[in-house]
């Protein structure tokens, strides 16, 4: 018999803002609405609610990276990478070719921001799961 890890009790991973773990006021109100709907229906169709997006970490280029990168894709795509500066340089230049708006004067700073925030020595990003509660993975002692 195997015992599953409790994904819901993982410590907040580096790269995840506290809001990803601790519901804020907006999340609480959403949850209340969800519970209200649940109380009005006996339907058991279950749905998963996960935080739709995360933030890039603080840094001098946080705002510019948010504008340049998150226009096309969400932050998780970046948060999960662990790459060397040489590889980040290739990625940034590819994205500029693909339409990311990065002022030439900001290119090097953006590469520095990404390669210092998401370097290979950082601990791995812990992705969320949909509907963690239902599949709550409990440790059996």
Partner 1 sequence: MSGAALAASAAPSFFSWAAAAQGGSLEVPVEDGMIVRSFRFVDLETPVEYFNTWLTPVPHFFVRNHMHEPSELNASDLQAKDWRLTVGGEVEKPFTLTLSELSKLETHSVVNTLECAGNGRSLHRPQVPGVQWGKGAVSTARFSGPRLRDVLQRTAVKPAGKHVMFRGLDEVPGKVPPFIRSIPLEKALDSNTLVATQMNGAPLTKHHGFPARALVPGWIGAASCKWLTEIKILESEFAGNFMSPAYRFPNEPVTPGDAVKPEDTHPLTALSVKSVISGPLDGASVKPGKVAVHGAAWAGEGDIVKVEVSTDGGVTWSSASLGHDQAHYAWRLWNYDWNAKGGDYTILSRATDSQGRTQPATPIWNPSGYLYNAIDQVKIHVA
Point out which span in 57-65, 87-95, 103-111 binds partner 1 (CB under 8 A).
87-95
Residue 49 or 63 having the CB closest to partner 1: 49
According to CB under 8 A, which one of 67, 73, 85, 108 is a site residue for partner 1? 73
Residue 4 or 103 having the CB closest to partner 1: 4
Applying the rule CB under 8 A, the residues between 31 and 60 that interact with partner 1 are 31, 34-35, 37-38, 40-41, 43-53
Point out which span in 57-65, 105-113, 127-135 binds partner 1 (CB under 8 A).
127-135
Nearest CA among 100, 6, 98, 118 for reference residue 54? 118
Residue 9 or 60 having the CB closest to partner 1: 9
Q: How far apart are CA 20 and CA 111, in angstroms?
A: 25
Q: How far apart are CA 27 and CA 97, in angstroms?
A: 37
Shortest Å, Cβ 39 to partner 1: 9
- Asked whether position 91 contacts partner 1 by CB under 8 A, the answer is yes
Residue 2, number of CB atoms within 10 A of its CB? 4
Q: Over 71-96, what HEC string results?
A: CCCCHHHHHCCCCCHHHHHHHHHHHH
Asked whether the beta carbons of 113 and 69 are under 8 A apart, the reply is no
């Amino acid at each position: 018999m195997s015992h599953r890890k409790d994904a819901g009790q993982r410590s907040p991973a580096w790269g995840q803002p506290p809001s990803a773990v601790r519901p804020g006021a907006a999340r609480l109100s959403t949850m209340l609405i969800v519970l209200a709907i649940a109380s009005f229906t006996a339907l058991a169709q279950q749905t998963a609610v996960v935080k739709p997006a995360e933030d890039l970490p603080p840094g001098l280029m946080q705002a510019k990276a948010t504008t340049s990168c998150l226009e096309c894709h969400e932050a998780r795509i970046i948060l999960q990478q662990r790459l060397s500066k040489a590889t980040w340089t290739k990625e940034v230049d590819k994205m500029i070719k693909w339409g990311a708006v990065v002022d030439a004067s900001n290119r090097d700073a953006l590469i520095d921001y990404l390669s210092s925030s998401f370097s290979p020595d950082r601990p791995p990003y812990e992705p969320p799961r949909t509907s963690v509660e239902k599949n709550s993975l409990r440790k059996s002692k």
